[in-house]
Amino acid sequence: MTLKDQIDRNNLPSHVAVIMDGNGRWARQKGKHRIFGHKSGVTSVREVTEAAAELGLRYLTLYAFSTENWNRPKEEIEALMSLLVTSLSGETKTLMENNIRLMAIGDLQNLPGKVYKKLQASIDKTADNTGTRLVLAISYSSRWEIADAAKKIAAAAVKGDIKVDDINTEMLSEYLNSGKIPDPDFLIRTSGEYRVSNFLLWQIAYSELYFTDTLWPDFRKDDFFKAILDYQHRERRFGKISEQLGSEK
């Protein structure tokens, strides 16, 4: 039986988020430039996106570029930005074929104009697709997102649109850039690093975490299916005890 066949379709995570890490090390191991690793990582993005669509997952969020990644060498940033443009041009067809709707979170105003335009064009083109939503986190960091939400909530309070007493966890979730996107059920990080690097800190409060040594450019559909199978062996208690869960299922 294939790994995919072993997956219980009645116990799928509705939102999977992925920290795609290890491109540079993968390239270095091959004696190549880091940028070769980024280019090779595009295949993994396609594989995971297709795998998510095949399973019918509602949301797949991919961490593509962090706020802190702006501090990388200029040439690497430029290479990553042009890779974004070429991938968006090339892969929008794959999104259409798989009925995938593209979305983005992050400080998009910070992106070079050309990248922003391409991104917006793909978002618009796929807007009516009803399958998996692919959310790209670009120029994203969780602390930026939370500070941005705080600013918007304060402005709304000053304007009198909301009362300070009405501010609660639900409202904060809604004011985040991830807005109506449900919290991830499952977070995958590749490359053997055990950290979350400023990704969805608020939203992963009760996410199941999965770490693998596989470097991102080596990550394939079966690696994704293996991770989902691992998820299906977890018991999510949300603070309760095991005995309380059965009746709610």
Catalytic residues: 21, 69
Q: Does 69 bind ligand IPE (CB under 6 A)?
A: yes
Q: How far is the CB of 65 from ligand IPE (least distance, A)?
A: 5
Point out which span in 13-21, 91-99, 118-126, 207-215 binds Mg ion (CB under 5 A).
13-21
All residues at 6 or more sequence positions from 72 whose CB lies less than 8 Å from its CB, including other chains: 80
Q: Does 214 bind Mg ion (CB under 5 A)?
A: no
The residue within the footprint of ligand IPE, chosen from 25, 58, 125, 152 (CB under 6 A), is: 25
The residue within the footprint of ligand IPE, chosen from 53, 55, 64, 102 (CB under 6 A), is: 64
Burial of 29 (0-12, 13-18, 19+ CB in 10 A): exposed
Q: Does 66 bind ligand IPE (CB under 6 A)?
A: yes
Partner from Mg ion, ligand IPE, none binding residue 64, C-beta < 5-8 Å depending on class: ligand IPE
Q: Does 30 bind ligand IPE (CB under 6 A)?
A: no
- Contact, 103 vs 127, CB < 8 A? no
Contacts of 119-124 with CB under 8 Å at 24 or more apart are 119/84, 119/88, 121/88, 121/92, 122/88, 122/92, 122/95
Please report, as ranges, the residues that interact with Mg ion according to CB under 5 A. Answer: 21
